[in-house]
Amino acid sequence: MMAAGFAGGVALGHAARIVFLALVAASMVIDARERRVPNALVLALIACALVVAVMGRTWAQLAWVVGSAAAVCGALVGFEVLWRRLRGSAGIGMGDIKVLFCMMLVDPAAALAAFATGLLVLALVAVALRRGSLPLMPFFGGAFLVLALIL
């Protein structure tokens, strides 16, 4: 085990997780209003995510979590760059991908499930409302918060 071995480590990990979830909620509100996730908010998310990621994981587990987050998000960035070049418009926002990276540091399986669920619900709502696009974070972040509360 890493830093969770000291008495304050568990409390620090729980506190970081609570702050992380509050920041996810803030990103949902900001994205719904402004259609963006500010870099300052992403920096706060990654700081909390790194604390959560380190607590209770071995170095090997931490390396796997960071590597999988980098691989998934790197692939999404590559796909988004190609999409923008071919379509001339944005698909998934880069802020959404950065938040996915942070969420994967906290809980990779829940983050991927929330991302897929968020995309599906967004598509259904967009069709129902006859809208060409909607911000992703309210759907994606909402799914992650639900998963975080039930898991």
Q: 114-117: which pairs have CB atoms within 8 A and are 24 or more residues apart? A: 114/140, 114/141, 114/143, 114/144, 114/146, 114/147, 115/140, 115/143, 117/143
Q: What confidence category does residue 10 fall into, taking pLDDT thresholds of 50, 70 and 90? A: confident
Pick the more confident residue, 96 or 7: 96
Q: What confidence category does residue 8 fall into, taking pLDDT thresholds of 50, 70 and 90? A: low
pLDDT at residue 6, rounded to an integer? 54
The residue-averaged pLDDT of 53-72 equals 95
Our count of domains for the chain comes to 1
Per-chain mean pLDDT for the chain:
93
pLDDT above 80 (res 78):
yes
pLDDT at residue 53, rounded to an integer? 95
The residue-averaged pLDDT of 99-128 equals 98
The residue-averaged pLDDT of 109-131 equals 97
* Domain residue limits at 66: 3-150
pLDDT at residue 3, rounded to an integer? 45
